[in-house]
Amino acid sequence: MKKRVFVGGLHHESDTFNPIITGRDEIWVTRGADLFTKRESSYSGIINTLVAAGYEVIPSLVARAVPNGVWDHDYYQELKAELLQKLKEAGSIDAICLSLHGSMRVQNLGEAEQDLLQAIREVHPATPLFTSLDMHATLTKRMRHAADGFVGYKCAPHTDTYETGIHAALMVIRTLEMGKKPTMAAVRIPMLIAGEQSETSVEPMKSLIKELRSREQQQGVLACSYLLGFPWADGKENAVHAVVVTQDDQDKADRLAKELAQIFWSRKKEFGFYNETRMPSDALKATRESIESGVYPVVISDSGDNPTAGSSGDVTNFLSLILSDPVLSKLDPPLLYQGFYDPQVVREAFEKGVGASFECLLGAKFDTVKSKPVRAKATVKALKEQWEGANGADLALLDVEGVDVVVASKHVGCYDPEMMRVLGAEPKQRKAIVVKLGYLEPEIRAIAKRSMMALTTGSSDELFERLPYKNLPRPMYPLDKEFEATLELI
């Protein structure tokens, strides 16, 4: 008789500095048999591996959304109840394997993963439970003790989501075949690290990931991970964690986790921005100089308002600075800015039609604290209705006082150059492009002759000292520079 494994998950990176509540309209849910048709994600890696090994997969649901503010409490509870009901209806199962992010938060509740895992444990207190996690997961004590094993991504940008799902499934298979529950250890490292300082193709993360992989080759080691936490969440347990899962040797798990934590802490001062990084006004000056010397397209990241890191996508400070620049606001072809989350302006653009002009207040519709709307005359240059590449968002390309601006009706990531192209704007033909992004995704990077990250303001501010932390435990590196860290098992 086939062994039966229950599969599901909730996946979101929640920015607590972003006032938007991520609700039903922003969340897409895949249910039941549809989970078998998806590809290139952690849960499809889990499912395909289990099926190939002859296991029966019991699919439930996977809910996801673009990184944003915390989730709506009622909708989270609705999805949680649905998943738990499916778990109860599944009957006798041999294991549970989930695809979670690790830094999902819920309105008036806090960390979602610990809440979900503990609820699952009330139904199945002893069933082996494993989950894949994002590299930027925030491990809590309750979360750590509610599962038998975690494995996080080892690539940033996250090109190994599918492979991490495979890894999680292999832990399930090995556990069920051996008949022994694994042992896990986690050590807290008091650090905050942004994704833009931890790409795995460069040091120190390149070597640190090698340390993980080398220990995974040891006899009896199922998984080793560095979970980097999420700096744009003001949590009481936010930090980096070294996590080790072993077959049935707690002492070994404890020793390896402590060892990996000490290695990570010893290299803390090596983390930094390794791409060209500048303050906003300096970035514009460097862009003008680059264009004058014939080196373009120049791609600038508006990093402080990066929706793929959970920011609101409507902070206007950098756009205002560009509009006041006598050169960059009058380029031919115009500087191309991708993009802004502003449903009202998109609706007006569709009502007016291509070629029409109208007065608008662009931006600052959701985050009204960090910036003000830009008052401008906008001309509609192109429209795209319900573009599937942006979760069905309506898109508008507007000429805003000499700058071409992509505006979306939904909160979407701005990493894909196809979003510009479907509006008739070829980025390769532009001299300057701004994207609300942190590190550049490969598609954008391939376009740039020069790229730089501007340290702009917003809910994904890369300068952590500018963020209003209230709950973050201290001391915390790099906010606190010199202190003796206590690297403790949690």
Does residue 207 have a pLDDT over 90?
yes
Segment 240-250 shows an average pLDDT of 97
* Percentage of residues in the chain having pLDDT higher than 70: 100
What is the per-residue pLDDT for 439? 83
Whether residue 311 contacts residue 304, with contact meaning beta carbons closer than 8 Å, is answered with yes
Segment 318-338 shows an average pLDDT of 98
Segment 437-464 shows an average pLDDT of 93
Does residue 375 have a pLDDT over 80?
yes
Segment 359-382 shows an average pLDDT of 97
Q: pLDDT band at residue 214, thresholds of 50, 70 and 90?
A: very high
What is the per-residue pLDDT for 206? 97
What is the per-residue pLDDT for 274? 82
* Phi-psi region at 309: left, alpha or beta (left = phi > 0; alpha = psi -120 to 50): alpha
Residues 434, 435, 440, 441, CA torsion sign: negative
Note the pLDDT tens digit of each residue in 82-109. 999 999 999 999 999 999 999 999 999 9
Does residue 442 have a pLDDT over 90?
no
Q: pLDDT band at residue 385, thresholds of 50, 70 and 90?
A: very high
Q: pLDDT band at residue 205, thresholds of 50, 70 and 90?
A: very high
Does residue 38 have a pLDDT over 90?
no
What is the per-residue pLDDT for 208? 98
Does residue 164 have a pLDDT over 90?
yes
Q: pLDDT band at residue 10, thresholds of 50, 70 and 90?
A: very high
Segment 146-166 shows an average pLDDT of 96
* Percentage of residues in the chain having pLDDT higher than 90: 94
Alpha-carbon distance of 177 to 106, in angstroms, equals 37
C-alpha to C-alpha distances, 216 to 59, 175, 213, 273, 484, nearest whole angstrom: 29, 16, 5, 29, 29
Note the pLDDT tens digit of each residue in 402-441. 999 999 999 999 999 999 999 999 999 999 999 999 988 8
Cis ω on the peptide bond leading into residue 339 (within 30° of 0)? yes
Note the pLDDT tens digit of each residue in 267-280. 999 999 988 999 99
Residue whose tokens read 């009502």: 351
Q: Which of 357, 346, 309 is nearest to 456 (CA)?
A: 309
Task: Provide the whole-model pTM.
Answer: 0.94
Across the chain, mean pLDDT equals 96
What is the per-residue pLDDT for 157? 85
323's CB contacts (< 8 A; 6+ apart) are: 329, 374, 376, 400, 401, 402, 403
Task: Say if residue 79 is exposed, middle or buried (CB neighbours under 10 Å; 0-12, 13-18, 19+).
Answer: buried
Does residue 63 have a pLDDT over 80?
yes
Which amino acid is it at 381? K
Q: pLDDT band at residue 391, thresholds of 50, 70 and 90?
A: confident
What is the per-residue pLDDT for 229? 96
Does residue 314 have a pLDDT over 80?
yes
Note the pLDDT tens digit of each residue in 278-294. 999 999 999 999 999 99
What is the per-residue pLDDT for 169? 98
